[in-house]
Amino acid sequence: MSIFERLFGTDKSTPPPDIPFGRYTDAYKTETQQRAFERSLELFDEGKHLEAYREFMAYLKDPLADNITWNDRGDTLEFQFWQGSQQVSGIATSEKVKAESKIARADDLNVGFLRRLMEANFNLKFSRFALAPDNALAILFDTHVTDGSPYKLLYALRELAIHADKQDDLLLDEFKSLRPAQERTYGDIPQPEKETKLNFLKRQIESAFAEMDKAKPDPNTYPGTYAYMLLALAFKLDYLVRPEGFMMDTMERIHGIYFAKNDRTPQVKVVSIRKEYQKLLDRPQEAFFKEMYRTRSTFGINPPVHHDTIVNLIEGELPNMEWPLQQNFEVLALAVPQYVAGFALFHYAPPKPDRELFHLFFQIMEPSFFRELGFKIPFVDVSGRLHRGEIVKAIRNVAERNRPQYPRLRPDTDKLDFASPVLFAKSYLLMIKDLNLIREN
């Protein structure tokens, strides 16, 4: 069960569904893991390379996930770990460290995917894509132990794993002559969960299109206002649906379209983003369901940040909701705090209290979705009225659970505005901005 389900489950007689949300992060290492990495560095400096690598494996092992295993044979160390849908296998001896992940198998060599991987090699610093004798496409890394410090292994294995996980679904979706190199034996999710997530995705996109088609205000005159709505939608879907493959790549592409530094106007970018969403609506159900599965990961993509980064994000973006709020465009005004929360979870690994409060924010903003998944959500009734007492209690629970690490964490819930969802969202983010997240030494 993930940390969020433990935190926000309200019916103690019935455990909440074991459904994870958001991108995996390895930013929250335990003290035991940190000590293992420190021992790994010390042992490596002493020339005890295999002992150092054993400690390094302990550092990578997530205590909440079955993400890595290793077999110590004395003079060799064999290891396997997961990154998304991909398994990475490796071996360490007294001379070398090798690791590889097979991402696809080719029935017919096609210049298209071979060129794609050759071009990708130019952007890799430690690993490389290669073609095995049996026409398996793989990504490889190897190093001599004298040059294989734990720091190097950390960056190299992260690069290999993340690129392996990203490329397998994309290549298989685009090139029909490729077959999976690894049979997925983990991560099947129930059909009702898939249907709930797909229906939610379609409803959200169609609702955004309907808002644009109202043309109040005119998207050609106020493209930035609609950009907030479309980008907030991408970040929200990425966090709540937790897509893989094509849909995950689409969310990243939507972000890239708007923030690309080119000569395209904001109006053109908004139109381009809408086309990307239309591709999702046009995609067959079977293609979506194929990419909906649980994953285990070892490395997070998002960099850890301090609370100051979240403060700067809120201060920089939240004022942009004032104009649509004053003009009574509440849907567009609400998109701004949703954008802030989604942006923080899409790009960063924020401090734990921030992450948990952003998750609570989405539970409050999207209660129907969570209820359809089987969660008990007491924060909003069926008419949309916010329940002050339940929300304040959930916020205080987050604070109490995190106070051993953040002794000055005391959210000021008195400043929350429950008059409407949009005013609540604004005040909620201001509450997060004012948190004191100085850690205990």
Q: How confident is the model at residue 7 (pLDDT cuts 50, 70, 90)?
A: very low
Q: How confident is the model at residue 13 (pLDDT cuts 50, 70, 90)?
A: low
For the segment 17-67, what is each residue's pLDDT rounded down to a tens digit? 989 999 999 999 999 999 999 999 999 999 999 999 999 999 999 998 889
Instruction: Please give, one letter per residue, the 3-state secondary structure of the chain.
Output: CCHHHHHHCCCCCCCCCCCCCCCCCCCCCCHHHHHHHHHHHHHHHCCCHHHHHHHHHHHHCCCCCCCEEEEECCCCEEEEEEEECEEEEEEECCCEEEEEEEEEEECCCCHHHHHHHHHHHCCCCCCEEEECCCCEEEEEEEEEHHHCCHHHHHHHHHHHHHHHHHHHHHHHHHCCCEECCCCCCCCCCCHHHHHHHHHHHHHHHHHHHHHHHHCCCCCCCCHHHHHHHHHHHHHHHHHHHCCCHHHHHHHHHHHHHHHCCCCCCHHHHHHHHHHHHHHHHHCCHHHHHHCCCCCECCCCCCCECCHHHHHHHHHHHHHHHHHHHHCCCHHHHHHHHHHHHHHHHHHCECCHHHHHHHHHHHHHHCHHHHHHCCCCCCCECCCCCECHHHHHHHHHHHHHHHCCCCCCCCCCHHHCCCCCHHHHHHHHHHHHHCCCCCCCC
pLDDT in tens, 133-181: 888 888 999 999 999 999 999 999 999 999 998 887 777 777 777 778 7
For the cut 50, the answer to whether the pLDDT of residue 440 exceeds it is yes
Name the pLDDT band for 15 (thresholds 50, 70, 90).
Answer: confident
- pLDDT above 50 (res 1): no
Domains and CATH numbers, the chain: 27-179 (3.30.1460.10), 191-433 (no CATH)
pLDDT confidence of residue 4 = 47
- What's the rounded mean pLDDT across residues 290-313? 93
Is the pLDDT at 2 greater than 80, yes or no? no
Q: Minimal CA–CA distance to 246: which of 290, 187, 204?
A: 290
Looking at residues 295-322, what average pLDDT do you find? Answer: 95
Query: Is 112 a residue whose pLDDT tops 80?
Result: no
